[in-house]
Chain A
Amino acid sequence: MDDRLSFIADVPLFSGIPERELEEVARVMRTVELDAGDLLFREGEEADGLHVLEQGLVQACRRLPGGGELEYARLGPGDVLGEIPLLDGGLRSGSVRALEPTRAVFLARADFTALVSRLHPTAFAIKRQILKHACGRLRLSHGALAESLDGRSQAAEPSSASLPLTEAGPGDFPDGRPPDGAYVLRLPFFRSYGEPEFAELLESCSLAVVPAGRPILQEGEAASSCYVTLNGAVEEVIRRGSDSVRVRLCGPGRAFGYVGLIDGLPSTVSIMTRERSLLLVVPGGRFEALFNGGTISSYVFFNAVERDLMTGLRQSQAPHARLAAAR
């Protein structure tokens, strides 16, 4: 138990969390041992928790239509597998096989969910770390996509710089007024919101109507706001020379622009409106307060960002698979 505690305390995913708070997590973890060739888990299985590799080497692969596999990662001691399903469950997006004798510790989703349901501060601290880690995963995924485009590593020059958005007025809305709560609360981002939480969020945010084709954030720029699409659609794109790949389309109820607000790094994608769009703009300072806060409103916002990031991470795999299948 002490060995396990000191091991996980050194894992970046759990860094910054006091050891005494990690004790409860370490207590519910268990050890998994694999021989070379053994499967840790199989693509398509129900994801039941998180593994931290203590020793050994594993490969992560995804099956391709028409046969064959795409190896998308090799992982060793200290690396973490399944942190995303720890939050949102779902099915395993790839298979993981040991390439040599391997040992891992396993945190079951059911145990972690029990911590979260008690609003245990450690659980939220781990969640924040997982989201930062997920941002790193997203950046790696974008980097690999950029590499596959035309073999160039430099971002294409933006066709036009992103400009500050102007706040929407009554004339910008089809009915002269913004969409009502009955509509907004049906959107995925606001699924956990009630009328009071949404009204409170609106007070510190603004609405912007943006024409189609308008840049919002360019690759390499620092994020200043988080946005949620209320109407229309926004796309995240990576461009290299004349090649480009759309990483994600953010339709109604999807958020974007927040990755840099979580990890403080510049954007790995260019973001622009695909359709004329109505956006909820959450200023960077307000995002930080909500993301790190300890109130019910903060938890609701945090969970909405968490769900959106998990969705984005899963969606970021689709262009990889398409490109691999086309080769």
Chain B
Amino acid sequence: MCRVVGYLGRPLLLDSVLFATDSSLARQTYSPRMMATFLNLAGFGMAAWDDRSERPEEPFVYKVTSLPVFDRNLKCLAEKVAARCVIAHVRGVTYSEHEVLSQTNLHPFRFPGVKVTLAHNGHLREFARMRYDLVGHVHPSFVRHIEGTTDSEWIYALLLSQLEDPFGSPEADEIADAAVRSLRIIREIRHKHEIGTSSPVNLFITTGTCLVATRFSFDYGWYPEGDTMLETDLPYVSLWYTLGEEYRERDGEWQMGTSDRPRSLLIASEPLTTDTSRWLEAPEYSILSASLVDGNVEATISDLDP
């Protein structure tokens, strides 16, 4: 299991989400508060869009298999880069010699020439039985870009293939529709193979100007006997958000400032502060879509039943 943070809004120093808070993403590698069993020790990845950088429509991408808490380079960068949009991910896997720790398995995924970027918190149980059925639903040009061994990269390729123009800049509602269609295809393949085990799929998807997140699980509450992921999956995999003027420290507390119209949105697997009172929990089986329009964040949450 993993932890993810997504941000959209006024330029935000990366340090604010990666290191500064008392439950920052870096801390969630070794001390996640809402995961019972596994730590997130299998690497860090990030895509950040900075308006003041060269080619601002392209993100700054950083991926390392080491832990962010020991990464002096990342800390230095985080104190310099302010981004309007970020997806950052720490990877958690089962403690097994069968897991592959490599850069190619690190999130977020972003194929060459494509603007849509995706990170995943969850796992498709029995994915190996589904993989070859997915090939028929993924555009061949994306199949050849799949370098890693994760279910997440396949979900990404599948989602791109559901977009009318995967090389364009889809709006939030187009991405949300593509996410629903992708989940529906996965459900059909699971049904074909009689896979009925709990499989959480919390997705964070962005183009740099919009952000879509899902809180969803297939067949929630059904586990294979003796499953090593049971303790992690028993509670519905969490997703939280907070929105307002800007995310900053006030009187010693990190929080969103007041605003009539929200200008910043943070979505995270779990709150970035131990005090959760400034955060809202997204409902189970929901999809959250947000866009930046004239400097304001327009966000909606709806039920997700693919």
Contact = CB atoms under 8 A, between A and B. Distances in A.
Do the two chains bind?
yes
Interface of A: 43-44, 62-68, 174-175, 180, 183, 186-188, 229, 231-233, 246, 249, 251-253, 274-277, 318-319, 321-322, 325
B257 A66 contact: yes
Interface string B158-190: 000000000000000000000000000000000
Interface of B: 196, 219-223, 225, 230-231, 234-236, 241-245, 255-259, 262, 275, 277-281, 283-285, 301
A279 B166 CA distance: 44
B222 A65 contact: no
Interface secondary structure of A, over-half rule: loop
9 contacts: A65-B255, A67-B245, A231-B223, A232-B221, A249-B285, A251-B236, A252-B221, A274-B220, A274-B285
Contacts of B259: 66-67
Contacts of A66: 242-245, 256-259, 262
B256 A65 contact: yes
Contacts of B221: 229, 231-233, 251-252, 275, 277
Which of A43, A68, A275, A319 is most buried by chain B, counting CB atoms within 10 A of its CB? A275
A319 B284 CA distance: 12
A63 B278 contact: yes
Nearest to B303: A246
Contacts of B243: 65-66, 325
A135 to B, nearest CB: 23
A65 to B, nearest CB: 4
Given A65-B241, A67-B256, A251-B220, 9 more contacts: A65-B255, A66-B244, A188-B234, A229-B221, A251-B234, A253-B234, A275-B220, A277-B221, A318-B281
A67 B258 contact: yes
B231 A44 contact: no
A281 to B, nearest CB: 17
Contacts of A64: 278
Contacts of B234: 186-188, 251-253
Nearest to A325: B280
Interface secondary structure of B, over-half rule: loop
Contacts of A188: 234
A187 B244 CA distance: 37
A69 to B, nearest CB: 10
B275 A44 contact: yes
A186 B280 CA distance: 28
A158 B141 CA distance: 49
Nearest to B258: A67
A229 to B, nearest CB: 7
Nearest to A65: B242
Which of B219, B223, B235, B280 is most buried by chain A, counting CB atoms within 10 A of its CB? B280
B218 to A, nearest CB: 9
A63 B235 contact: no
B257 A275 contact: no
Given A62-B277, A66-B245, A251-B236, A233 B283 contact: no
Nearest to B222: A231
A67 B257 contact: yes
Contacts of A44: 275, 277
A67 B244 contact: yes
Contacts of B219: 232, 275-276
A277 B222 CA distance: 9
B277 A249 contact: no
B280 A65 contact: yes
A68 B222 contact: no
A277 B284 CA distance: 16
Contact of A183 (B225, B256, B257, B277): B225
Nearest to A187: B234
B230 A233 contact: no
Nearest to B221: A232
A105 B223 CA distance: 48
A275 B222 contact: yes
8 A-B pairs closest in CB distance: A67-B258, A66-B244, A65-B242, A232-B221, A249-B284, A252-B221, A233-B221, A233-B220
